[in-house]
């Protein structure tokens, strides 16, 4: 397919594998651990990477190739590698590119497991991370040292839904010759394409909105072909590859990404507007609400506001817990980006091990509630939130 000519949805739907001799319409599942060779020369050339072909499913597989190919087209990336989970993507990407003594500059608000990796594990290999405050991007350059190799950020952030200016990060990375890596999980390539703004690599937890139906785990890194080749060599050796079955599911999920996201975002904006008008709510954060501190930046770099709404419930920790207890329709679950609306209260759950100061450093106040708005009839979601908010 000519990837320049076709639109986003067409890429997601039609960019599939060649048909087999059975002329199937929907791509089949290739549950095979390995592939066969014609002869000794074929085998030699394949292992020498002289041929672009499948050898062993730890390296590649038709289903994972299809998934990678689609995401590359959607993100405007040259190449990619697919992983068993979002964290396998984050870890393998960093581990393949870093060496002892290297330094990372990262946004302070990153996914909890990524944060733990940076502060609890990478220092064991003499890789240190400095964090910048998302609301003070002017401090980023001051953190860069001669050893800094990677600039890492998420936007929108989890769970506070802050927005970082990707164009600014792209300019800083270029000026200081850093590898800019963006975790684009909350936006998906439908809403935001970081490569356009100068990112070298984009990582995703495909578990979230890419699957969007809470079925499989998956992850992917796409971007610059040379960097991806390093990540590929590390990953084919260490074995974090996505399973063919999950890749098959995810390739089909991508076919409905655009239409799902349109509705997710439409519903989320309605939920955000409802919450903003509610007397029990102090503050609502949604990128496409005019009240969002980085509204202008969100408008510049995102097509729509995403499906995550954060709000501050009056009454702090206890009010947050009581709110969760009164929820009837929505789910209490650590996942997000599902057809089902999910509510979480980070201070009493996912981030309860942190001190109040540590929580505040990552923008988590005691009353912060995160809603991952789903695809139910939106009036039913709003009615559930309304009855749970009533004191």
183 binds ligand PLP, rule: CB under 6 A = yes
Q: What is the dihedral of CA 94, 99, 100, 105, to 10 degrees?
A: -50
- Secondary structure string (H, E, C) spanning 329-356: CCECCCCCCCCCCEEECHHHCCCCCCCH
Indicate the residue among 274 and 286 with the shorter CB distance to ligand PLP.
286
8 A C-beta contact, residue 320 and residue 332: no
192 binds ligand PLP, rule: CB under 6 A = no
Single out the segment in contact with ligand PLP by CB under 6 A; choices: 181-189, 229-237, 271-279, 293-301. 181-189
Min dist. Cβ of residue 240 to ligand PLP (A): 11
- 222-224-228 Cα angle (round to 5): 65
Q: For residue 282, how far is the Cα from the chain centroid? A: 28
Q: What share of the chain is helix, strand, coil (3-state, %, to 5)?
A: 40, 15, 45
Q: What phi and psi, each to the nearest 5 degrees, are found at residue 90? A: -60, -50
208 binds ligand PLP, rule: CB under 6 A = yes
Single out the segment in contact with ligand PLP by CB under 6 A; choices: 53-61, 83-91, 165-173, 381-389. 83-91
93 binds ligand PLP, rule: CB under 6 A = no
In the list 62, 86, 305, 367, the residue contacting ligand PLP (rule: CB under 6 A) is 86
165 binds ligand PLP, rule: CB under 6 A = no
Min dist. Cβ of residue 205 to ligand PLP (A): 3
Min dist. Cβ of residue 244 to ligand PLP (A): 17
In the list 67, 81, 111, 274, the residue contacting ligand PLP (rule: CB under 6 A) is 111
Indicate the residue among 46 and 184 with the shorter CB distance to ligand PLP.
184
In the list 154, 165, 366, 384, the residue contacting ligand PLP (rule: CB under 6 A) is 154
Q: Minimal CA–CA distance to 275: which of 266, 265, 286, 264?
A: 286
219 binds ligand PLP, rule: CB under 6 A = yes
Q: What phi and psi, each to the nearest 5 degrees, are found at residue 350? A: -60, -30
Indicate the residue among 46 and 157 with the shorter CB distance to ligand PLP.
157
In the list 64, 109, 205, 253, the residue contacting ligand PLP (rule: CB under 6 A) is 205
Cα–Cα dist 299/308, whole Å? 16
Q: What phi and psi, each to the nearest 5 degrees, are found at residue 34? A: -140, 175
Q: What is the dihedral of CA 338, 340, 341, 342, to 10 degrees?
A: -70
Q: Longest C-alpha distance within the chain, in Å? A: 74
207 binds ligand PLP, rule: CB under 6 A = yes
Cα–Cα dist 205/221, whole Å? 9
Single out the segment in contact with ligand PLP by CB under 6 A; choices: 96-104, 203-211, 274-282, 379-387. 203-211
Interface ranges with ligand PLP (CB under 6 A)? 85-87, 90, 111, 113-114, 154, 158, 183, 185-186, 205, 207-208, 217, 219
């Amino acid at each position: 397919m000519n990837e320049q000519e076709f639109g986003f949805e067409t890429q997601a739907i039609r960019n599939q594998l060649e048909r087999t001799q059975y002329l199937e319409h929907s791509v089949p599942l290739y549950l095979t651990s390995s592939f066969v060779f014609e002869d000794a020369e074929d085998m030699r050339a394949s292992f020498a990477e002289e041929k672009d072909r499948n050898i062993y499913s730890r390296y590649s597989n038709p289903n994972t190739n299809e998934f990678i190919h689609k995401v590359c087209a959607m993100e405007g990336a040259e190449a990619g590698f697919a992983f068993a989970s979002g964290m396998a993507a984050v870890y393998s990407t960093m581990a393949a590119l870093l060496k002892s003594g290297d330094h990372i500059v990262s946004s302070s608000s990153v996914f909890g497991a990524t944060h733990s990796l940076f502060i609890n594990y990478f220092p064991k290999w003499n890789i240190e991370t400095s964090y910048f405050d998302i609301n003070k991007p002017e401090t980023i350059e001051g953190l860069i040292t001669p050893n800094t190799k990677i600039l890492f950020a998420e936007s929108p952030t989890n769970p506070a839904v802050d927005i970082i200016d990707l164009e600014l990060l792209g300019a800083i990375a270029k000026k200081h010759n850093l590898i800019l890596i963006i975790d684009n999980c909350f936006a998906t390539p439908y809403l935001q394409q970081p490569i356009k703004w100068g990112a070298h690599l984009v990582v995703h937890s495909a578990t979230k909105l890419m699957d969007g139906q809470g079925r499989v785990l998956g992850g992917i890194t796409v971007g610059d072909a040379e960097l991806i080749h390093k990540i590929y060599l590390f990953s084919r050796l260490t074995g974090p590859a996505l399973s063919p079955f999950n890749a098959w599911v995810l390739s089909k999920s991508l076919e409905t990404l655009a239409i799902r996201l349109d509705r997710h975002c439409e519903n989320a904006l309605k939920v955000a507007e409802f919450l903003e008008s509610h007397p029990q709510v102090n503050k609502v954060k949604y990128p496409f609400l005019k009240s969002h501190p980085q509204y202008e930046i969100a408008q510049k770099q995102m097509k729509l506001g995403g499906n995550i709404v954060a709000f501050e419930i009056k009454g702090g920790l206890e009010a947050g817990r009581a709110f969760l207890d009164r929820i009837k329709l929505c789910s209490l679950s650590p996942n997000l980006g599902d057809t089902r609306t999910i509510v979480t209260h980070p201070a009493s759950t996912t981030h309860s091990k942190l001190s109040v100061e540590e929580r505040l450093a990552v923008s988590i106040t005691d009353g912060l509630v995160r809603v991952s708005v789903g695809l139910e009839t939106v009036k039913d979601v709003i009615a559930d939130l309304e009855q749970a908010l009533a004191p």
